[in-house]
């Protein structure tokens, strides 16, 4: 009984002996089962030891591609304009009845935007810190989906959910990216995760998507 019985996907020729190319048309044949590496068991290259050379400018890049950061920036700018116009109208006294609401609403929008920008900037700096000195751990991808509730320049972010073990505890986390992550990440596939040893809740996929 032959060990293999392959059919060429190019010309349909069957062969009981495994070979790299079809004996009839020369087309490449599928690899043997033992030559296949399961995507679930495959692990990318291990991260280099810390400290890693991660530029501070990477935090700004994360901000520029983060939907909440962009929306917060818009809120801060619009709120600032409204607050400025409202302040001028209020100072003129005659138009104070219009200026005060403008000043109040604009101030709320501006403060909301600034606070959220500060929070997102802190998160971006934490990500850089994790990538710079984080400890590596084996993790795996649990879910990948596209979030259609968020849109930036008509692009919807992908959400990558993953899990990893640190100190005997399982941690579940997620990451967002506007690039199709399925070129590097697949559900059930092993991956590297970096985390701060003093606080594993602060973690990141490696390489960062």
Domain coordinates in residue numbering, the chain:
1-36, 59-128, 135-206
Highest averaged pLDDT of the listed ranges 7-16, 25-34, 62-71: 62-71
Q: What is the pLDDT of residue 107?
A: 93
Long-range contacts made by residues 55-64, C-beta under 8 angstroms, separation at least 24? 56/128, 58/127, 58/128, 58/131, 59/121, 59/124, 59/125, 59/127, 59/128, 60/124, 62/124, 62/127, 62/128, 63/120, 63/121, 63/124
Model confidence pLDDT, tens digit, residues 93-149 = 767 787 888 899 999 999 999 999 999 999 999 999 999 999 999 998 999 888 888
Model confidence pLDDT, tens digit, residues 35-70 = 544 444 556 678 888 888 888 788 888 888 777 788
pLDDT bracket for residue 5 (50, 70, 90)? low
Q: What is the pLDDT of residue 206?
A: 87
Whether 88 shows a pLDDT value over 80: the answer reads yes
Mean pLDDT (whole number) for 165-169: 89
Q: How far is the C-alpha of 123 from the C-alpha of 199, rounded, in Å?
A: 14
Q: What is the pLDDT of residue 39?
A: 47
Q: What is the pLDDT of residue 81?
A: 94
Whether 71 shows a pLDDT value over 70: the answer reads yes
């Amino acid at each position: 009984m032959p060990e293999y019985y392959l059919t060429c996907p190019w010309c349909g020729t069957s062969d009981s002996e495994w070979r790299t190319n079809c004996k009839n048309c020369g087309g490449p044949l599928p690899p043997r089962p033992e030559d296949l590496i399961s995507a679930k068991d495959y692990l990318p290259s291990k991260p280099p030891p810390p400290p890693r050379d991660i530029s501070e400018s990477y935090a700004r890049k994360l901000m520029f591609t983060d939907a909440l950061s962009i929306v917060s920036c818009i809120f801060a700018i619009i709120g600032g304009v409204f607050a400025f116009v409202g302040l001028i109208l209020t100072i003129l006294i005659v138009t104070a009845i219009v200026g005060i609401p403008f000043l109040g609403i604009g101030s709320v929008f501006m403060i909301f935007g600034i606070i959220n920008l500060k929070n997102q900037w802190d998160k971006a700096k934490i990500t850089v810190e994790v990538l710079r000195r984080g400890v590596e751990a084996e993790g795996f991808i649990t879910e990948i989906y596209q979030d259609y509730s968020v849109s930036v320049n008509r692009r919807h972010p992908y959400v990558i959910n993953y899990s990893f073990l640190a100190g005997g505890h399982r941690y579940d986390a997620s990451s967002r990216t506007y690039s199709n992550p399925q070129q590097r990440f697949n559900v059930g596939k092993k991956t590297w995760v970096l985390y701060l040893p003093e606080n594993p809740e602060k973690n990141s996929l490696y390489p960062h998507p």
